[in-house]
Structure 1
Amino acid sequence: MDGGDERGYLLDNQQAEAGARFDALAALFDPSTFRHIDALGIAEGWRCWEVGAGGASVPAWLAGRVGPSGHVLATDIDVTWTAAGTGYRILRHDVGAEPPPGDGFDLVHARLVLVHVPQRAAALTAMVAALRPGGWLLLEEADPALQPLVSPDESGPEQRLANRLKHGFRTLMAGRGVDLSYGRTLPRLLRAAGLTDVGADAYFPITGGACAALEAATVRQIRDRLVAAGLATDGEIDEHLDNVTAGRLDLATSPMISAWGRKPLDGR
């Protein structure tokens, strides 16, 4: 298989389709993310670190919540798609390899970040260290192994083709060191990191325009690798994209596990 033991992010943010993926992910998951952050009690004056920001939707929302007396730092290893905006600062930063860019944060949030970071344990340690006593860490990661089908209602050949291509995508991800069961481990990891008041839930849409947009952008990004690895032909990929465009498929995302925990007030 092409790149069988290759490491690195499979979905290159330098590709044109990355913007479409960020827009679709924001449409699908921002409401759930914002609901969780509101439940943690975000207020004016909070200091927030958005890790692996990707697009600007989450940092912009955070800035609106914390107001001019607060502080929002948005970091990513590639800040191409994190547009500058009012109320937040952008910094290029590798959470797995560099020290945290500050401390005393009331909230540290990362969505779809750690599963792609080879140094996951170091990244988690850095995020916990950056919290003030009483501060919250919110991690959100997909768990494809919990629900491996992009088309759960596998009722015909179009759906079977969609699921076969998704299996190929996950084969490529696993070959790059992505843990396809990582999401479910988050509560345990937060407790092991010394956080308290740990909770978690899961959410995934099963159809809709944003699901279709995410699927199309993802398949376009990885089509050359799927073909090179012998996991699909160009004809099969074109057929699948036509099915997506025609609206013949109910396309799901992987379950998004959201887990949160609080740094003890004694700071230990």
Structure 2
Amino acid sequence: MTTSTTTPTGPGPSRYSFDNDDPESVGRHSHLSDILDPFTFARLGALGDLTGKRCLEVGAGGGSVARRLAELAGPGGDVLATDLNVRHVPLDAGFRVLRHDLVTEPVPDGPWDVIHARLVLLHIPQREEIVARLVAALAPGGALVIEDWATEFGRLCLAAPDEATAALIEEYRDTLVDRVLPARGNDPTWAARVHATMLAHGLVDVETEVNAASWPGGSPGAVLLAVNVAQLRDDFIAAGFTEEKIQRLYSAVRDPRLVVRSHFMYSTIGRHA
């Protein structure tokens, strides 16, 4: 496996909703890895033998998926992990690292046997054009794997200690999904449109698997709600989610009597003919 490098070293300007320069981003990457990696790793395993393959991880975050791709590709493979801000991506994990802007810069030179993006394109308004460029960067037979949450569905609270807490969780969801994130370019319906988008760009054998889980209070998934608010506190307050509600949410997500449902994760795989 090619040794790790990063160019350049300093963080660039971020348009992503959850900025890697925010101190809360460390916890966010850790929680996302805990709750999403098992499903993502199973999906990568469905691609077949990746020994010796060239793999591109777009929006690498904390680097856990890039590390898994490096394990699957082995010493003869090549894995490149990219992000707008690579400060949380390890430089000694058996893959290359590149600070890269998916919107303004070309897809890194391929062709690639696997391109994977998780929780990236739903945040980027130019998502359709980016998919076209990712498809063009695939090698013949190569696979594009796009994983995004469909956040359009409400009723996240499965159980709560009282009606007020259940209402608070739903207000959190409505504020985040209907007001805060759309103002930053997020599309809550994107995940369900990825399948058709891949077909429209000529990919074949396209298939989608949908995953969701319950998260009890205190678990990484439940605590992620508080991390989201902490990173976007000003936006939440501007949208009417008061400081008092924020403090109540911080307490609620650690209460084991609370159980919330994850968003539906759509994992879509398409192959270059």
When normalised by structure 1's length, the TM-score is: 0.91
After TM superposition, the structure 1 stretch with the greater mean CA deviation from structure 2, 244-253 or 186-195, is: 244-253
Identity among equivalent pairs (%) = 36
Which residue is equivalent to 1:130?
137
Tell me, in whole angstroms, the C-alpha distance in 1 between the residues paired with 2:135 and 2:92.
26
CA deviations 1:31-61 (Å, max 9, x no partner) are 1111111111142101100001111111111
Which residue is equivalent to 2:257?
248
Query: Which runs of structure 2 are paired with 1:42-61 in the superposition (5 Å)?
Result: 42-61=49-68
* Equivalent position SS for 2:260: coil
After TM superposition, the structure 1 stretch with the greater mean CA deviation from structure 2, 150-159 or 19-28, is: 150-159
Per-residue deviation, 1:190: 0.6
Is residue 27 from structure 1 mapped to residue 34 from structure 2 by the alignment?
Answer: yes
Tell me, in whole angstroms, the C-alpha distance in 2 between the residues paired with 1:42 and 1:182.
29
> Is this contact kept in 2: 1:205–1:211, CA < 8 A?
no
Is residue 228 from structure 1 mapped to residue 234 from structure 2 by the alignment?
Answer: no
Which residue is equivalent to 1:13?
20
Aligned AA for 2:265? M
After TM superposition, the runs of 4+ consecutive aligned structure 1 residues lying more than 3 A away are: 152-155
Tell me, in whole angstroms, the C-alpha distance in 1 between the residues paired with 2:158 and 2:201.
35
Q: How many residues align?
A: 256
Aligned AA for 1:150? L
Tell me, in whole angstroms, the C-alpha distance in 2 between the residues paired with 1:16 and 1:150.
26
Counterpart of 1:187 (choices 191, 195, 216) is 195
> Is this contact kept in 1: 2:159–2:257, CA < 8 A?
no
Structure 2 gaps of 5+ residues are 1-13
Which residue is equivalent to 2:110?
103
After TM superposition, the structure 1 stretch with the greater mean CA deviation from structure 2, 67-76 or 218-227, is: 218-227
Aligned AA for 2:242? T
Is residue 38 from structure 1 mapped to residue 48 from structure 2 by the alignment?
Answer: no
Tell me, in whole angstroms, the C-alpha distance in 2 between the residues paired with 1:24 and 1:105.
29
Is residue 143 from structure 1 mapped to residue 139 from structure 2 by the alignment?
Answer: no
* Equivalent position SS for 2:28: helix
Which residue is equivalent to 1:200?
208
* Equivalent position SS for 1:245: coil
Aligned AA for 1:136? A
CA deviations 1:150-199 (Å, max 9, x no partner) are 31447611111111022111111112221111100011001001000000
Tell me, in whole angstroms, the C-alpha distance in 1 between the residues paired with 2:58 and 2:246.
33
When normalised by structure 2's length, the TM-score is: 0.89
Tell me, in whole angstroms, the C-alpha distance in 2 between the residues paired with 1:162 and 1:90.
37
> Is this contact kept in 1: 2:56–2:115, CA < 8 A?
yes
Tell me, in whole angstroms, the C-alpha distance in 2 between the residues paired with 1:199 and 1:60.
24
Which residue is equivalent to 1:114?
121
Which residue is equivalent to 2:8?
none
Structure 1 gaps of 5+ residues are 1-6
Tell me, in whole angstroms, the C-alpha distance in 2 between the residues paired with 1:67 and 1:18.
29
After TM superposition, the structure 1 stretch with the greater mean CA deviation from structure 2, 163-172 or 195-204, is: 163-172
